[in-house]
Amino acid sequence: MEFQTALSISLPFALGIAAFGSGLGLGKAVSSAMDATARQPEASGKILVNMMAGCALIEALTIYVLVVVFVLSGKIS
Amino acid sequence: MSQEAAGAAAHEAAKESSLEVLNFIHLATDYVHGAAGEFLHRYENLIFGLIVISVLASVFYFASRSAKADAVPGRLQSACEGIVGGLEGFVIGILGERGRKYVPFLGTIFLYIWTMNLLGLLPLMHNPNANAMTLTVGPISLPIPTTTAALALLVFVYVQSIGVKENGIVGYLDHMAGQPRDAFGWAMVPLMFPIHLIGEIAKPLSLAFRLYGNIWGEDVLLAVFIGLGVGATAFLPVPSGLPLHFPFLLLALVTGTIQAFVFTLLSTVYIAMMLPHEDHAHEKHAPEHAAH
């Protein structure tokens, strides 16, 4: 098997696994934010700000995977 | 426009492995030859950074020029004062009243990144945050971001200098060593010092790569969908294209704002972690409360 075949098979899986993990993490974060907002609706602005910050940090990990995928996909010929 | 976009996209795809949308420097280098063309091509990102700086500076200069000190502020001045007030409230909300002197730096970082992200979405403009140089070490080639690494380096130097200035050099090293107070603390110093050191290095690295990855990924996504839209109507004799990339333009607006906000938020939190905390004061107060 040449490395191009290996890359072509594994890169979409890598991105899928990263998206899966990111979906789980973001779902947990947003769910906690929803619970907190339901508990205290007047704090919804602050909760939204903190949720956005948390989501951006979780998303950053998936973005690192995306960058690697783009870089490696250029090596497939 | 569509032919140039498709041609430039193909040109970039042939040069690197990623697509890029045409910007006016690419057009200018087609018409300007020789040393001036080389200069334009080489300093493309600097030119876009200078455009962002001049837009920001001129907007805020015209907003701060008022004829009389007690005159009713105009619309531009009110808007700019609202932005500055919002940034100040945000930074002070995290750092407290002592954070007021860090507001100019953090606010400028936010405005610079935000304006750069928004201006990069205009036609024939380019976002320098999406620029990276490829560093090849043996078989591995990494994209090293340029503009975002400069911003992250700025934040790193600023945060470390705040640490040295506010805590003193002894307090800074003490903070780096994990604040050894007893024999166990001193025994842990050879472990805590490298951990803190790596943590301090990882902060600007993550800042740079997070901003670069988000903006570059969004740009490549836009370029791919613009190419799809242009290719969808390729059978027509007239150069045209479908705006298939429109939802991703809206997404790029949102992520541009959010990434600017997260960069500023993390810089503020790093400054907060470097300043003397209050939790050590809680440790000293706890025995007094227990004695009551």
Provide the ipTM.
0.75
What average pLDDT does range B14-23 have in this prediction? 65
| Chain mean position to CA B160 | 18
Nearest-Cα residue of chain A relative to residue B209: A64
Structural domain that includes position A65? 12-72
Could B214 and A60 be called an inter-chain contact, meaning their C-beta atoms sit closer than 8 Å?
yes
Q: What is the CATH number of the domain that holds A29?
A: 1.20.20.10
Asked if residue B274 lies in contact with residue B163, where contact means CB atoms within 8 angstroms, the answer is yes
Point out the residue among B17, B143, B262 whose CB comes nearest to the CB of A67: B143
Which H or E run includes B143? strand B140-145
B141 token code pair: 């080639």
Domain assignment present for residue A39? The answer is yes
| Dist. CA A25–CA B106, nearest whole Å | 29
Q: What pLDDT score does B5 carry?
A: 47
Nearest-Cα residue of chain A relative to residue B17: A74
Domain assignment present for residue A7? The answer is no
A→B contacts (Cβ < 8 Å), by residue, are 52-53, 56-57, 59-60, 63-64, 66-67, 70-71, 73-75
Most A CBs within 10 Å: which of B137, B265, B267, B270, as the mutation test of the A interface?
B265
Domain assignment present for residue A51? The answer is yes
Point out the residue among A63, A70, A71 whose CB comes nearest to the CB of B210: A63
| Dist. CA B262–CA A49, nearest whole Å | 10
Residue-wise pLDDT tens digits, B154-195: 999 999 999 999 888 888 888 888 888 888 888 888 888 888
Domain assignment present for residue A5? The answer is no
What average pLDDT does range A16-26 have in this prediction? 95
Listed in sequence order, the DSSP H helices in chain B are 2-15, 24-31, 34-42, 44-64, 75-95, 103-119, 147-176, 183-232, 246-274, 279-291
Q: Residue holding tokens 């057009």?
A: B27
Nearest-Cα residue of chain A relative to residue B211: A60
> Is residue B146's pLDDT more than 80?
yes
Point out the residue among A53, A67, A73 whose CB comes nearest to the CB of B17: A73
Could B259 and A57 be called an inter-chain contact, meaning their C-beta atoms sit closer than 8 Å?
no
Asked if residue A26 lies in contact with residue A59, where contact means CB atoms within 8 angstroms, the answer is yes
Domain assignment present for residue A53? The answer is yes
What average pLDDT does range A49-74 have in this prediction? 85
Question: What confidence category does residue B280 fall into, taking pLDDT thresholds of 50, 70 and 90?
Answer: very low
Closest of B230, B263, B219, B269 to residue B112, by C-alpha? B263
Domain assignment present for residue A33? The answer is yes
User: In degrees rounded to 5, what are phi and psi of residue B133?
Assistant: -100, 145
Classify strands B132-137 and B140-145 as parallel, antiparallel or unpaired. antiparallel
Asked if residue A26 lies in contact with residue A9, where contact means CB atoms within 8 angstroms, the answer is no
Could B16 and A74 be called an inter-chain contact, meaning their C-beta atoms sit closer than 8 Å?
yes
Question: What confidence category does residue B15 fall into, taking pLDDT thresholds of 50, 70 and 90?
Answer: very low
Could A53 and B210 be called an inter-chain contact, meaning their C-beta atoms sit closer than 8 Å?
no
| Dist. CA B215–CA A76, nearest whole Å | 24
Point out the residue among A53, A60, A66 whose CB comes nearest to the CB of B265: A53
Which H or E run includes A54? helix A44-73
Burial tier of B116 (Cβ tally within 10 Å: 0-12, 13-18, 19+): buried
Q: Which residues of A are less than 8 Å from B18 in CB distance? A: 70, 74
Domain assignment present for residue A49? The answer is yes
Q: Which residues of A are less than 8 Å from B141 in CB distance? A: 71
Could B213 and A71 be called an inter-chain contact, meaning their C-beta atoms sit closer than 8 Å?
no
Percent of chain B's residues with pLDDT above 70 = 87
What average pLDDT does range A44-73 have in this prediction? 86
Point out the residue among A56, A64, A70 whose CB comes nearest to the CB of B220: A70
Question: What confidence category does residue B143 fall into, taking pLDDT thresholds of 50, 70 and 90?
Answer: confident
Asked if residue A58 lies in contact with residue A26, where contact means CB atoms within 8 angstroms, the answer is yes
DSSP label of B276: P
Average pLDDT, chain B: 84
| Chain mean position to CA B250 | 19
B54 token code pair: 């001049």
Domain range summary for chain B, segments of one domain joined by +: 2-291
Domain assignment present for residue A64? The answer is yes
Number of structural domains (chain A) is 1
When mean pLDDT is compared over A72-76, B107-111, B135-139, B218-222, the highest value belongs to B107-111
